[in-house]
Chain A
Amino acid sequence: GQQLNQSPQSMFIQEGEDVSMNCTSSSIFNTWLWYKQDPGEGPVLLIALYKAGELTSNGRLTAQFGITRKDSFLNISASIPSDVGIYFCAGPYSGAGSYQLTFGKGTKLSVIP
């Protein structure tokens, strides 16, 4: 089945540093979604990408839809303590007419003040 591989699995950074994480797949995706999840809460949608090569920003967050359509990247600039959480990439299952999302295992971000 489809799998999304996220790296790194976890990262510790100093407040103010920039962060980069990525998501790769062996299958082509036509949509990439990035979510953030705080402990004990549901995932919150950060950015949606619909076109290969697309670069989309949401405040200090920037995400890119890879040209091969098999990867996506998320960057966070000037990290702050509230950026702590788990970041998931997701994409729609490739079955015809399916709207179920496949998720990666997440990148856990810790910010050291």
Chain B
Amino acid sequence: DTGVSQDPRHKITKRGQNVTFRCDPISEHNRLYWYRQTLGQGPEFLTYFQNEAQLEKSRLLSDRFSAERPKGSFSTLEIQRTEQGDSAMYLCASSFNEGYEQYFGPGTRLTVT
């Protein structure tokens, strides 16, 4: 399967714990995006990378959130000191350098208890 992959698919954590998610984009894609989706809503943009450079960050990305893409391939999204409001589906997408067509992974469902 050469699509976008995400790991883990599900994560249950206690409030206050740190969690880290991984995304592996489609191999030829330079751009990688993170979105968050809550029930009944469309995905909301968090941040995006072009190669290893983080070029945009949403105001939704509080200082407890950090994303990296160290070698311009896979990316990680870390949430520190999780809160119940962080419970959501975290989606990763990737795209070619040109154009707006983004291809999504299956998501990581985070539940904070």
Contact = CB atoms under 8 A, between A and B. Distances in A.
Contact of A43 (B43, B58, B109): B43
Interface string B80-106: 000000000001010100011111111
B97 to A, nearest CB: 10
Interface residues of A, number: 25
Contact of A99 (B48, B91, B105): B48
Given A44-B104, A45-B102, A99 B56 contact: yes
Interface in A1-35: 4, 31, 33, 35
Contacts, number: 65
Counting chain B CB atoms within 10 Å of each CB, the highest count among A33, A98, A99 belongs to A99
Interface in B24-56: 31, 33, 35, 40-45, 48, 56
B48 A42 contact: no
A42 B105 contact: yes
Contacts of A43: 43, 91, 104
- Interface residue range, chain B: 20 to 34
Interface stretch (A51-59, A69-77, A88-96): A88-96
Given A42-B91, A99-B95, A105 B100 contact: no
Counting chain A CB atoms within 10 Å of each CB, the highest count among B31, B48, B58, B102 belongs to B102
